[in-house]
Structure 1
Amino acid sequence: MNLKPNFFEKRGETARIFYDEQLAAGKISTELLSLIPVISSRPIVFVCIGTDRSTGDSLGPLVGTLLEEKAIAPFHVYGTLEDPIHAVNLEDKLMEIKEKHVHPFIIGIDACLGRLKSVGVIQIGEGPVKPGAGVNKELPPVGDIHITGIVNVSGFMEFFVLQNTRLNLVLKMAKTIADGISTASLAFHNKKQSWKEVNWSLDQGQNKLM
């Protein structure tokens, strides 16, 4: 759980999308596709951080579980309600992912707290999310890019606020994020196929010239 929404490194502008705004999932998909490398052969891995022991911190594993129920190949997903990734096992899980996938492009997903007017906002941008930064825990940053959801208000008795965050809001935000990622996976697959066809055409043309 990243308690403060600005605890990630920004290299560019961060998109802010309210979970219930019109075409929210489509906007999430568009933002993701603008940040994910299509031409690269790097595997795309979503690391959903959080725990089901706290409603506010369950955003990540809820997204992971919803994604497991969808066909989002060629994307890979880690961190679900059944097998969550949290402060205790984060480093080990990251090592497992990097052993399994060669030079993965990682998207870190986590919940955070923010201003009252920003509750319900989904943020997408370059740079990693930094789990535990808001509570002074030394945890490794996660992701080449990040998706964070502001689930409640920061500033006072944050653990209490986190524990008493409404599951209804967190679930709705998780569904919007998962729908956006699912839409992006289809478009990403089509782009990959188109790129392969272009490469094939170029190779064929070169062979004819030789």
Structure 2
Amino acid sequence: MLNNLLKFPKLSSEFKLNISQPTAMYDIAIHLRSIMQEATTTNGSLVVLCIGTDRSTGDSLGPLTGTKLRSFNSYPHIYGTLDEPIHATNLNDTVKSIQKNISHPFIIAVDACLGRTESVGCVSLGRGPLKPGAAVHKDLPSVGDAYITGIVNVSGFMEHLVLQSTRLNLVMKMADTIAHAISYGLRTYTKP
């Protein structure tokens, strides 16, 4: 298995898996390292932007992930924690600040999302920007060069209420898995 962890697979447009899989953390880390290799190729500084609020259980995935990453003390460019969440009212200013203060940032955006019943508990990872707030019909700018989203509940009806009533246990497990995957991916990554 270690040999598999050291390879950089080609990442299709999106990689998706359920966090209950025993190798979920390692699988996310492997695909994340593929994205980091791309960032290094373009001379970018890696930034993890964790989007969400602590005022809604379902939408707290980003800030919980950011807080866990900060506690690992594994990487300096982490934005969005429970103490300082990145949400609809400060997202634009935060992205402008990142662009101004970090040379050629390669932003990995982390956010919660809603999806189909069979996808709840899954994490998606891919290249390209993330459209935060789409589930609750907010018009926010797309952010990131890559994304990690956690499907925390079912979409389709009364999304604000669905996010409010999302099980904290699921969100915590997802945040743990994502934070450990990012941390492991950063620790084991070596520049090509």
- Structure 1 position 115 matched with structure 2 position 116: yes
3-state SS, counterpart of residue 25 of structure 2: helix
Instruction: Give the structure 2 partner of residue 62 of structure 1.
Output: 64
Question: Which one of 21, 43, 51 corresponds to residue 49 of structure 1?
Answer: 51
SS at match of 1:107: strand
- RMSD (Å), alpha carbons: 1.4
Which structure has more relative contact order (CA 8 Å, sep 6+)? It is 1
1:164 lines up with 2:165 in the alignment: yes
Match in the other structure for 2:23: 23
Offset, 1:23 = 1.2
Q: Is the 8 A contact 2:109 2:130 kept in 1?
A: yes
CA distance in 1, matches of 2:104, 2:117: 38
Equivalent position of 1:143 in the other structure? 144
Local SS of the residue matching 2:125: strand
Measure how far apart 1:135 and its partner are.
3.2
* Partner deviation per Cα, 1:91-150 (whole Å, 9 max, x = no partner): 011111111101100001100000111000000001111012233322111110100000
Quote the sequence identity (%).
52
Equivalence for 2:94: 93
- Structure-1-length-normalised TM-score: 0.82
Aligned length: 180
Give me the whole-angstrom Cα distance separating, in 2, the residues matched to 1:126 and 1:81: 26
Tell which structure's C-alpha radius of gyration is larger.
1
Q: Structure 2 regions of 5+ residues with no counterpart? A: 1-10
Distance 1:135 1:116 in 2: 17
The 8 Å contact of residues 135 and 159 in structure 2, kept in 1 or not, is answered as: no
What's 1:14 paired with? Answer: 14
Task: Tell me if the contact between 2:17 and 2:124 (Cα under 8 Å) persists in the aligned partners.
Answer: yes
Q: Which runs of 5+ in 1 are unaligned?
A: 1-10, 196-210
Q: Which residue type is aligned with residue 61 of structure 1? A: P
Matched, 1:175 2:176: yes
